[in-house]
Copies of this chain bind each other. A is one copy, B any other.
Amino acid sequence: MAVGLSEPRQLLPVAGVRLAAIGAGIKPNKQRDDLVMIALDPGTTCASVFTRNAFCAAPVIVARQHLDTTPPRALLINSGNANAGTGQQGLDDASESCARVAEALGCLPQEVLPFSTGVIGENLPMTKLNAGIEAVAGRLDENSWMAAARGIMTTDTIAKACSRQISIDGTTITLTGFAKGSGMIHPDMATMLAFIFTDANTDADFLRHCLKHAADASFNCITVDGDTSTNDACILAATGKSGSEKLTGASAGSAQFAVAVEDVCTQLAQAIIRDGEGATKFVTVHVTSAASVEEARNVAFTIAHSPLVKTALFASDPNWGRILAAVGRAGIADLQIDGVDIYLDDVCIVEHGARAAMYTEEQGQQVMKRDEITITVSVSRGEAAATIWTTDLSHDYVTINSEYRS
């Protein structure tokens, strides 16, 4: 069950966005929605980041091509099948689904972006998908945000979504986003599937800048299992319908808008971790006084990926030796071990590279019993820091991933 996470009580509609979700029969469980369509009003500006996995899925390839030619008018997202590792057939299927959406909505095929998530290596069931496209196109409305957030889920146990409103020059601007992801989570450049919409009026360059910066500070700071998906994608679409003046990097409200985008992305990224496969803990790993941000991130990710640290977290066992060993193998060639201090929340467990003099096992246990824990590591090498978020490694992770296809 998700750690400290519940479904949002309310998601705010975003002017210029209509959406719908249905069950098209792609997932084995016919009770669950698996096809989401999102229509964007003309004039919408769009920014995107995609997976860096060399085996990116067919829809990622097609979506990139379409984004290069024209701004999108519609997104089509199916869950239950990733359309990855499917070769030319996969590309043909992704293109065909765009053509069907274009026909249904009266736009060009290049104005449609396809997204898929689910099992890798199986062809899309095109008959079901085409019938689903026709059906879902007839149900678009301005309020189906929760249904859309639920419709893109796979092993997720809870829908991940949030809304924010800010006021710039007296104009209210709304942002609503949703995301999915629970396993194969170690985004590289982009994340799982995340879709963020706003009625802000922005130029394209500024929107790209906001998304790049926000993704680096959010989706690129999380890991469940160190596995980078073939289908990661994050879309930020701005309809301009709020009626605000056009935001650029030089606008008075630009910083406020960028912060709001980062805030929504961070909320969604943390929600993915809270609902990580088998997660019983939400863990923040904070590395300080590193020589560079890259060094701080390497140490933080080495800790976050260590199966021994992760199983100790699952057991609520303050087995700090495993954290120490992870720091020691994180690739800092000239690490001075007596410069290393480690804290569990506010309890100092390692001081000058060895067990802290005042530390007692009881103090460590107190912290480890909590659902949310911060591991802070100081390496005494400089001024750089990094924060990443992760989960523990539980029996449920093994169960979920050894039964996923059966």
A→B interface (CB under 8 Å): 52-56, 82, 84-88, 90, 119-121, 183-184, 188, 225-230, 305-308, 311-312, 314-315, 317, 319-322, 324-329, 332, 335, 337, 340, 350, 352-355, 393-395, 397-399, 401-406
Contacts and interface: CB of A to CB of B under 8 A. Distances in A.
Contact of A324 (B88, B121, B340): B121
B398 A394 contact: yes
Given A321-B85, A354-B86, A403 B337 contact: no
Given A398-B394, A406-B317, A325 B53 contact: yes
B402 A317 contact: yes
B85 A324 contact: yes
Contacts of A317: 402, 404-406
Contacts of A399: 395
A321 B311 CA distance: 26
Given A228-B328, A317-B405, A319-B404, 17 more contacts: A55-B325, A55-B337, A85-B320, A85-B324, A188-B329, A226-B305, A227-B306, A227-B307, A227-B322, A227-B325, A227-B329, A311-B397, A314-B398, A315-B403, A315-B406, A393-B398, A398-B398
A397 to B, nearest CB: 7
13 contacts: A55-B328, A56-B328, A84-B325, A86-B355, A120-B324, A120-B325, A227-B306, A230-B321, A230-B325, A230-B328, A308-B401, A315-B402, A317-B406
Nearest to A334: B54
A55 B327 contact: yes
Given A228-B329, A354-B85, A397-B307, A402 B56 contact: no
Contact of A337 (B54, B319, B398, B402): B54
Given A188-B329, A325-B55, A355-B121, A402 B311 contact: yes
Contacts of A85: 320-321, 324, 350, 353-355
A288 B355 CA distance: 45
Contact of A87 (B56, B87, B352, B395): B352
A294 B325 CA distance: 24
Nearest to A308: B227
Nearest to A306: B227
Contacts of A394: 398
> When A and B form their complex, which 7 residue pairs have the shortest distance between CB atoms, in order from nearest?
A120-B321, A87-B354, A55-B328, A315-B402, A311-B401, A121-B321, A228-B329
Contact of A184 (B227, B325, B352, B398): B325
A337 B85 CA distance: 9
Contacts of A335: 54
Contact of A402 (B86, B90, B312): B312
A86 B312 CA distance: 20
A307 B317 CA distance: 22
A182 to B, nearest CB: 12
B315 A353 contact: no
Which residue, A56, A329, A335, has most C-beta atoms of chain B within 10 A?
A329
A227 B353 contact: no
Contacts of A84: 321, 324-325
Contact of A353 (B55, B306, B353, B395): B55
